[in-house]
Amino acid sequence: MNKKKIIQVLEKIAILMELKGENGFKVSAYRKAAQALELDSRSLAEIDDITSIKGIGKGTGSVITELLEKGTSSELEELQKEVPEGLVKLLKVQGLGGKKIAKLHAELGIDSAESLQDALQNGKVAELDGFGAKTVQKLIKELEAFGEKRERQPIWVMEKIVHMIEHILGTISEIESYSVAGSYRRTKETSKDLDFVVATENPEDVKKKLLEELPVNEVIAAGPTKVSVTLGYDEEIDVDFRLVKPESYTSTLHHFTGSKDHHIVLRKIAKDQGKKISEYGVEQSDGSITYFDSEASFYAHFNLPFFPPAVRENGQEFEKQSELDSLLTLEDMVSDLHMHSTWSDGAHSIREMVQAAIELNYTHMVITDHSQFLKVANGLTVERLKAQAEEIHAIRKEFPEIHLLHGTEMDILPDGTLDFPDDVLAELDFVIASIHSSFTQSQDKIMKRLETAMKNPYVHMIAHPTGRIIGEREGYNPDVPQLIEWAAKYGKILELNANPYRLDLATEYLIQAQERGVPIAINTDAHSVEQLSFMDVGVRYSQKAWLHKENVVNTWDLKRFLTYIQRK
């Protein structure tokens, strides 16, 4: 339990209360408590009595205490039972908030997208106060899109399900090895379904326990070597489990990781050597089967280097074998240059973020809390930024084993100016510029905003350069090739934001940036110590663009990094 999770629970209780039609003052109390906790610059470990914070009353305080002691909230659990699940799902419909949904439920008995659709069509919604003809037409349009099932789910949706499944697989004693396979393992931005390969000598026992433990909506197949189920989530997900003997595990994992085109080339190489690849092993010319203890040994059997799953795509990877050694690995990363603390909207203190970075063996890091414009994220004013500098100076002395730099994630404002003046930026070690607002501006205005940041001598990096959220929003539509040209011209770093929601820049632009010699930083944009683990998906995604270690700023030693950012 960290501060961010408590804030999320308080906000969830508030919205569920609102959906239930509770007294507005009661709803407001939970929102005020969440805000009070957000604005407090201490982490949980630094707060002796959380209920003493102004804005946290007796009721909200008891919920927080329960969360701290048990990790759960009985208040939240009770509300989840009382509020129809369909109402919660309606929050995803553009134009509907808690109050409007509560009104629809109270006056028309609406409890799902289907019942809302009926009420819209028969004119009942238009009769309610606050729901005019334009609102009704907009809701009808939004519901049409809302009801469409996505063919492919974004990686951040799949990630949560993968972690849940991995937890269950880890508790089944009859399983010797397991791994996710398919497009998810290849770090594709979206996947149609999930594949898991499981090594076991007791497939019947494993099958039984899987069906008992998983949140199964439908059993599609349950044979001796394959279990196929549909799991129940906001959107249903199909999952296949391949149950194989331990000796076949590596070959089966490789087979179901794909891609099809990668396999076509590999099977031709095997055929030329008088061998035949199957999902269970490699058949030799004499009919014997060879098994493998790792994918590295599998490739070596064909006199090939190891191909990371992320690059197994169109078959052309076999023509780039000489570049495999220069691909990035997680072990190459010595820094993270974009993270947040409790000074803005992070869950942990600077000290806690530093300790976590030391555990990852980083040699240097940057604290980059939000700037003043982003009030929703408790952005720092100039005065608070100076106070933060004093704290960072003290923490540097406490942890000499890592070089802690002071930075900011500064907003590029809608009018094209920067959130801090140059004299403030000049005092910082590392300056990130990013766009968080006015996404609907014309491309010309967006590019003028970005050009302002690019030309500023104190700006070092542009963060999440397109603002996209995979599967949710396209971003603010910049002219990325032009942005890359500016980065090359003005010597700026472009970010690959490793948060699985973003993975921004996308692969095609990473390739272009590397071709132009633009340095790339892979950063987690972590808002908690747990999110520092996003670096792994960022590194794997970078392999899809064949980014070279030399071109990724996070692999540079401290001296080289400081020389680069201080050159102006």
112 or 494, greater pLDDT: 494
- CB 82 within 8 Å of CB 75: no
Band of pLDDT at residue 123, cut at 50, 70 and 90: confident
| Mean pLDDT value across the chain | 94
511 or 134, greater pLDDT: 511
- 145, pLDDT greater than 90: no
Backbone angles phi, psi at 180, to 5 degrees: -70, 150
For residue 223 the two structure tokens come to 């044979």
Band of pLDDT at residue 149, cut at 50, 70 and 90: low
pTM of the predicted protein model: 0.87
- Four-point Cα dihedral 149, 155, 157, 160, nearest 10: 150
pLDDT of residue 167: 95
Question: What domains appear along the chain, each with residue ranges and CATH number?
Answer: 3-146 (1.10.150.110), 153-244 (3.30.460.10), 253-326 (3.30.210.10), 330-565 (3.20.20.140)
pLDDT > 70 fraction of the chain, expressed in percent and rounded: 98
Nearest alpha-carbon partner for 173 in 205, 141, 195, 149:
205
Kindly state the average pLDDT of the residues 375-397. Answer: 96
Kindly state the average pLDDT of the residues 283-291. Answer: 95
Band of pLDDT at residue 94, cut at 50, 70 and 90: confident
- 337, pLDDT greater than 80: yes
pLDDT of residue 86: 87
Band of pLDDT at residue 93, cut at 50, 70 and 90: confident
Which amino acid is residue 319, in one-letter code?
E
pLDDT of residue 568: 65
Comparing 83-92, 242-251, 256-265, 418-427, the range with the smallest average pLDDT is: 83-92
Length of the chain: 568
- CB 161 within 8 Å of CB 237: yes
What is the C-alpha end-to-end distance of the chain, expressed in Å? 43
pLDDT digits (tens, 9 = 90+) for 448-481: 999 999 999 999 999 999 999 999 889 999 999 9
Query: What angle separates helix 350-359 from helix 382-398, to the nearest 10 degrees?
Result: 40
Backbone angles phi, psi at 504, to 5 degrees: -125, 110
pLDDT of residue 2: 81
